[in-house]
Amino acid sequence: MGRKAFGILMMVLFLGLITHSTMAADLVISFAGGAAGDAVKDCFIKPFEQATGLKVGFEATHEFSKLKAMVQSGTVTWDLAEGPSIDFVILWAEEGLLEPLDYTIIDKKGLYQETLHKYGIGKAFYSTVLGYNSARYPKGAHPTSWKDFWDVKKFPGARCLRNAPDNNLEFGLMADGVPPDKLYPLDIDRAFRSLDRIKPHVKVWWDAGAQPAQLLTDQEVDMASGWNGRILYVQKQGAKVGLEWNQGVLMFSSWVVPKGAPHAKNAMKFLNFSHQPKLQACYAAAVGYPGVSVKAVDYLDSKFASDLPTYAENYKKQAVMNYEWWRQNRKKVEDLWNAWMVK
């Protein structure tokens, strides 16, 4: 095998095997697998293909390193990719890895405006909320704020928080009396002083999203921060676990278009198509995480909708994460956090 042929082979192996269906596609999308991936296929891709006649290929992965390698090598096979929060999207854009979105094709009307960015658009909302052992703290007598979470005398028991500054700074400030709509810019020193008070009472610092719900289910901790979908899932499986929306922090993942995407225009068409409220309701019903269409809840069972982070009563109780603040301050805060954790 010649050097040129060998080099091409190595690039294909590095970037992932490209199937015939992907190579022949009019649009290639990268997204996470599992239930969420199945929902993308069933709720968005199949209806899009039927409505447009375009063929959609997909890869069940959303690794940033792969997107970066594609762009830097000039061998881009993805047209649309699932990305993380907007602060990282901004960083990727600054590194020249993303195409700007075409809002002459993507209709902004009827969407949550905070999810719209030049280089990214919201995919799904989720919240970090306060979960608790409902056997120990029955409804009506459970912690309803981060001030309560911090109050170890009124609410004794083992605590669990994430091993990351994200959300914890916000929680520390709300525990110290800062209203959810007055958090930003975060007072970093005040947040860490507040966290100093709860740190001795935290039994587990979680790293994986499944941990808080499992620890609550096993009654190894009595209250924890955790992602709403994980907590609601074990609750519906019969675990004695409750969830408090008040003072949750609302966040969202994003779609991005890699720089040099061969079918970027079709990606814009897909994004616009997928924002139909009925399709977004289909996705939310499948995975418990709503998309960015405000009207999607109108097509969901009211009981189910009331368990979503964007349900009107839940939405107004929460703080919306300020991704621009985190983009500007993340490195500094993460360094402070790492030093604080080993103190």
Q: What CATH number does the domain located at 3-125+253-315 have?
A: 3.40.190.10
Asked: is 126-251+319-341 a CATH 3.30.70.100 domain? The reply is no
Instruction: Locate the DSSP E strands across 8-97.
Output: 27-30, 56-59, 80-83
CA–CA separation, 85 vs 113, rounded Å? Answer: 15
- Locus of tokens 């993303």: 98
Q: Tokens for 278?
A: 């009925």
Domain pair 3-125+253-315 / 126-251+319-341, same fold: yes
Q: Tokens for 337?
A: 């956090």
The per-residue pLDDT for range 206-228, each reduced to its tens digit, is 998 889 999 999 999 999 999 99
pLDDT by position in tens, the chain (length 343): 444 443 433 444 444 444 435 668 999 999 987 778 899 999 999 999 999 999 999 998 777 889 999 999 999 999 999 987 788 888 899 999 999 999 999 999 999 998 999 999 999 999 999 999 999 998 889 999 999 999 999 999 999 999 999 999 999 999 999 999 999 999 999 999 999 999 999 999 999 888 999 999 999 999 999 999 889 889 988 999 999 999 999 999 999 999 999 999 999 999 999 999 999 999 999 888 899 999 999 999 999 999 999 998 999 999 999 988 998 999 999 999 999 999 8
Work out the burial of residue 303: count CB atoms within 10 Å of its CB; fewer than 13 is exposed, 13-18 middle, 19 or more buried. Answer: exposed
Sorted by where each begins, the domain ranges of the chain are: 3-125+253-315, 126-251+319-341
Helices 3-15 and 64-73, packing angle to 10 deg? 150
The pLDDT of residue 22: 60
- Over its C-alpha atoms, the chain yields an Rg (Å, rounded) of 21
The per-residue pLDDT for range 42-51, each reduced to its tens digit, is 999 999 999 9
**Whether this model's pTM surpasses 0.95:** no
Buried b / exposed e along 265-296 (16+ C-beta atoms within 10 A): ebbbbbbbbbbbbebbbbbbbebbbbbbbbeb
Q: Tokens for 335?
A: 């360094």
